[in-house]
Amino acid sequence: MACLDTYDPGDFYDELFQAKGTPRPAAAELVRRIQSLPLKELQRRQEAAQKMLFKLGVTFNVYSDNQGTERIFPFDVIPRFVPYSEWEWLEKGLKQRIEALNCFIHDIYNDQKIIKDQVIAREAIETAPGYLRPCMGLQPPKGIWCHITGTDLVKDQDGRWYVLEDNLRCPSGVSYVLENRRVMKSSFPGFFDALDIQPVDDYASQLLEALLNLAPSNLSDPCVVVLSPGIYNSAYFEHSFLAQQMGTELVEGRDLVVTDGYLQMRTTKGLRRVDVIYRRIDDDFLDPQAFRADSMLGVSGLMEVYRKGRVAIANAPGTGVADDKMIYAYVPEMIRYYLGEEQILPNVPTYLCEDPKQREYVLAHLDELVVKATNASGGYGMLMGPHATAAERAVFAEKIQADPRNYIAQPTLKLSRVPTLIDGQFEGCHVDLRPFILYGRDVYVNPGGLTRVALRRGSLVVNSSQGGGSKDTWVVKEGTC
């Protein structure tokens, strides 16, 4: 018997247990099934699953690591459980958020009504590093800017969901969702038989549709490509995986060239026109003529072709402005302004250090708050107040005062936990959730998403670059479980 009986959820919201020995009613059947397996057997399946991922080459590259550079994202076989009723609500909230964000991006690069109506200050937008002047006046096909989004959600101690951050530039992680599911299916086929787990496998088809939606309608066989920085990029596996699943070419900047006013790729039979790019490189690197002149990854002249509507780019250049953590704080107002609705999914309460009053509060409460650089991601540039030393807090206080626009602060959330197999026993580990949202003809949300789990004891940081792992996320219809 797997010893979940003695598992103690502690002072946290646990996704499977409401108290020691008492599973949440919705998850009771899942817990019973896990319980029915001996711990040794679970461990064996865990090891087999990890081996399978390694063999499949589901790896990520570590920038700072000179050794061979490929690692698998550690994987835990105990699934993250989301009841379907909760999921329906999340889905609605995510769709609302993406629609509002898309309106916002289109607005600020065109009419700038939201600035004129004084909902957001011009300065707040123009100081965001993701805001790109060369994108002014762009009219992407069908008015869609953020085709692919990964929104990070967390659950606090009270069991309420919050949006932690938006990732609109080129969010990664969806390949793990698909491969984790594949591994779980072969590790626990019985569970899938018994529970009504929402399938995730149509993601690649949905993505391809969203991309084809952008091609000019007069083309019978538009050429869609995935643009990757190449095999040394940390997410290279995912780029190649998605290209393979969609049956499109995977290209690098050096395969592309702008000639005769079109974007073309070098093939064994000469040049061929490209109609839609799913780009997995940052805005800054897309086109050395328009952005960073030293970029080796992009294509010279691409933005000019894009501006003329001769190639579509997903996500559109410029969407990164919405990844800024200060802009994030305004999303509730955007929803009100563009959609005339109240937000469904709440933000984490956020203090803007730029505002003198809020800054004062932040500086006085550094030992309680999490401070984040507004333009950083991947768990970098953060101060976890309660865990930091006085010296570390002093350093951050100075940083905040030197450049207040660059920082926000949020209360330290007690992220929810899920039992996780570590060294042969169950430990409660903190998790977050990144669902993937596609904006094609309609807005589609892949059921579930990537659950990242902090594998270091007590750690709240779930990023793969900081010792995090992942779990399969099961959205389960009630009544079956």
Partner 1 sequence: MLSRVADSIYWMNRYVERAENVARFVEVNLNLLLDTSVAGMTEQWEPLVTTTGDRDRFKARYGDASAHNVLKFLTFDSEYSNSILSCVKSARENARAVRETISSEMWEQVNSFYLWVKEAANTEISAEQLYSFYPEVKTASHLFAGVMEATMAHNEGWNFGRLGRLLERADKTARILDVKYYILLPSVRDVGTPLDELQWIALLKSASAYEMYRKRQRRVTPEGITKFLILDPEFPRSIQFCLLQAERSLHQITGTTIGSWCNSSERTLGRLRSELEYMTLDEVFDMGLHEFLDKLQTRLNTVGEHIYEDFMAVPLAS
Which residues of the shown chain bind partner 1 in the complex (CB under 8 A)? 54-57, 226, 230-231, 236, 240-241, 243-244, 248-252, 254-255, 257-260, 264-268, 270-271
Find out whether 100 and 331 touch, Cβ atoms under 8 Å: yes
Instruction: Find the shortest distance in angstroms from Cβ 197 to partner 1.
Output: 23
Looking only at the bridges linking them, the beta strands covering 161-167 and 224-227 are unpaired
Structure tokens at 240: 């190649």
For residue 24, give the 3-state DSSP assignment. Answer: coil
Structure tokens at 51: 């081996």
Nearer residue to partner 1 within complex by CB, 57 or 309: 57
Nearer residue to partner 1 within complex by CB, 62 or 257: 257
Instruction: Find the shortest distance in angstroms from Cβ 301 to partner 1.
Output: 10
Instruction: Find the shortest distance in angstroms from Cβ 256 to partner 1.
Output: 10
Instruction: Find the shortest distance in angstroms from Cβ 434 to partner 1.
Output: 23
Nearer residue to partner 1 within complex by CB, 162 or 236: 236
Find out whether 345 and 92 touch, Cβ atoms under 8 Å: no
Looking only at the bridges linking them, the beta strands covering 312-314 and 407-411 are unpaired
Nearer residue to partner 1 within complex by CB, 55 or 457: 55
State the Cα–Cα distance between residues 348 and 46, nearest whole angstrom: 34
State the Cα–Cα distance between residues 479 and 481, nearest whole angstrom: 5
Q: What share of the chain is helix, strand, coil (3-state, %, to 5)?
A: 35, 25, 40
Find out whether 174 and 238 touch, Cβ atoms under 8 Å: yes
Instruction: Find the shortest distance in angstroms from Cβ 420 to partner 1.
Output: 27
Pick from 228, 241, 224: nearest CA to 275:
224
Instruction: Find the shortest distance in angstroms from Cβ 202 to partner 1.
Output: 19
Nearer residue to partner 1 within complex by CB, 120 or 224: 224
Nearer residue to partner 1 within complex by CB, 167 or 228: 228
State the Cα–Cα distance between residues 180 and 184, nearest whole angstrom: 6
Instruction: Find the shortest distance in angstroms from Cβ 428 to partner 1.
Output: 34
State the Cα–Cα distance between residues 246 and 265, nearest whole angstrom: 18
Find out whether 325 and 149 touch, Cβ atoms under 8 Å: no
Instruction: Find the shortest distance in angstroms from Cβ 66 to partner 1.
Output: 15
Nearer residue to partner 1 within complex by CB, 234 or 374: 234
Structure tokens at 431: 């998790």
Nearer residue to partner 1 within complex by CB, 94 or 276: 276
Greatest distance between any 2 Cα atoms in the chain: 69
Q: State the residue for tokens 């994202």.
A: 73
Looking only at the bridges linking them, the beta strands covering 270-273 and 262-267 are antiparallel
Instruction: Find the shortest distance in angstroms from Cβ 99 to partner 1.
Output: 32
Nearer residue to partner 1 within complex by CB, 93 or 298: 298
Looking only at the bridges linking them, the beta strands covering 256-259 and 262-267 are antiparallel
Sequence letter at residue 363: L
